[in-house]
Amino acid sequence: MKRVVVGLDGSPPSFAALRWAAMLASRADLDLVAAWAWLPGTVDLDPASTGSLLAAARRGLESWCAAAHPAKDPELVLVQGDARPALLAVAEEQHADLLVVGPRGIGGPAGIRIGSVTSDLAHHTDRPLAIVPPETAGLRIDHVVLGVDGSAGCTAAIDFCADLAAALGVSVTATLAYDPLLEWVPAHDRHGWRRHAENRVDEWVDPLRSAGVTVDVEVDRDIHPAATLARATAAHAGSIAVVGAHKLGGLTGLRRGRLPLQFLRQAVVPVVVVPAEHAAHTARADEPGGSR
């Protein structure tokens, strides 16, 4: 990991996201970029002068960053346009290893936990996306809970988690929700469902151990992966969650998979959604001549 981009819009949740991203960047020695996707019509100035609007927007972004008191001063980026495509474009241009946002922005209705912009980013990002609840943004990252299921999204999440946990020097708990329809042998038997599931997870998380990260494996007999992940994060103080995701085929481009989107709607800890496409993106960047 080298660079983190955080999206700001003047809302308290975005300030909390900046503080969290700055804390992460400071601990892991990462570059930090604060980006505001702004529209001239939302700035309370005479729109006759584009230069004046840009200057006012930059002053606004500077004041937001100062008010948030981040642990590390960010580079500032202004981009004009709708936040959804604009933040994804900034992350691409900045070669970001992680895009960070709050769960909802300044325009979101009260009582909605995940706003439309954040939800759209979760569906369409091809880079890891962290959604940071304000109530836990100031907590130190001491542990990572990783949801695993053997999918391509899981593989991408494991690779990201290896880099993150190694950079922070924290341990990881890999969790699997396993629901055997019939349990013919006891769980302690070497042929039992739990032992079989633990062996599978052990194989999946080899990249973490190869990176020098301490990994514990937890298999929970539950048909609800989001509930399993919630229990694991609650059991480990200072946890964040990392989950993989896939895109649907066809024209929608939406995410599929029960775990990422269900857990986002109920999570009280920072959640990093790692798209399956990130594995291919990282491989291209690491090739000779690739841009990072």
Residues 148 and 282 in one domain: yes
What pLDDT score does 263 carry? 76
For residue 264, the enclosing domain spans 143-286
What pLDDT score does 238 carry? 94
- Burial classification of residue 48, based on how many CB atoms lie within 10 Å of its CB (0-12 exposed, 13-18 middle, 19 or more buried): exposed
Residues 109 and 237 in one domain: no
Residues 28 and 45 in one domain: yes
Q: What is the pLDDT of residues 79-105, one digit of tens each?
A: 988 999 999 999 999 999 999 999 986
CATH number assigned to the domain comprising residue 169: 3.40.50.620
Residues 62 and 81 in one domain: yes
Please indicate, yes or no, if residue 247 is contained in any of the structural domains.
yes
Q: What string of H, E and C letters represents the secondary structure of the chain?
A: CCEEEEEECCCHHHHHHHHHHHHHHHHHCCEEEEEEEECHHHCCCCCCCHHHHHHHHHHHHHHHHHHHCCCCCCEEEEEECCHHHHHHHHHHHCCCCEEEECCCCCCCCCCCCCCHHHHHHHHHCCCCEEECCHHHCCCCCCEEEEECCCCHHHHHHHHHHHHHHHHHCCEEEEEEECCCCCCCCCCCCCCCHHHHHHHHHHHHCHHHHHCCCCEEEEEECCCCHHHHHHHHHHHCCCEEEEEEEEECCCCCCCEECHHHHHHHHHCCCCEEEEECHHHHHHHHHHCCCCCC
What pLDDT score does 253 carry? 43
Residues 77 and 180 in one domain: no
Give Cβ neighbours of residue 55 (< 8 Å, ≥ 6 apart): none
C-alpha 83: how far from its chain's center? 17
Q: How many domains does the chain have?
A: 2
**Domain boundary pick from 136, 170, 204:** 136
Taking the CB of residue 167, how many other CB atoms lie within 10 A of it? Answer: 17
Report the range of poorest mean pLDDT among 55-59, 111-115, 148-152, 166-170. 111-115
Please indicate, yes or no, if residue 292 is contained in any of the structural domains.
no
**Domain boundary pick from 109, 136, 163:** 136
Residues 76 and 181 in one domain: no
Report residue 168's pLDDT band, with 50, 70 and 90 as the boundaries.
Answer: very high
Residues 113 and 171 in one domain: no
Mean pLDDT computed over 207-220 = 94
Please indicate, yes or no, if residue 190 is contained in any of the structural domains.
yes
Residues 69 and 163 in one domain: no
Residues 131 and 162 in one domain: no
Residues 46 and 126 in one domain: yes
Report residue 22's pLDDT band, with 50, 70 and 90 as the boundaries.
Answer: very high
Residues 131 and 87 in one domain: yes
**Domain boundary pick from 136, 168, 198:** 136
Amino acid at site 268: V
Q: What is the pLDDT of residues 219-265, one digit of tens each?
A: 887 767 888 888 999 999 999 999 988 765 443 344 445 455 667 77
Mean pLDDT computed over 34-41 = 82
Please indicate, yes or no, if residue 73 is contained in any of the structural domains.
yes
- pTM summary value: 0.85
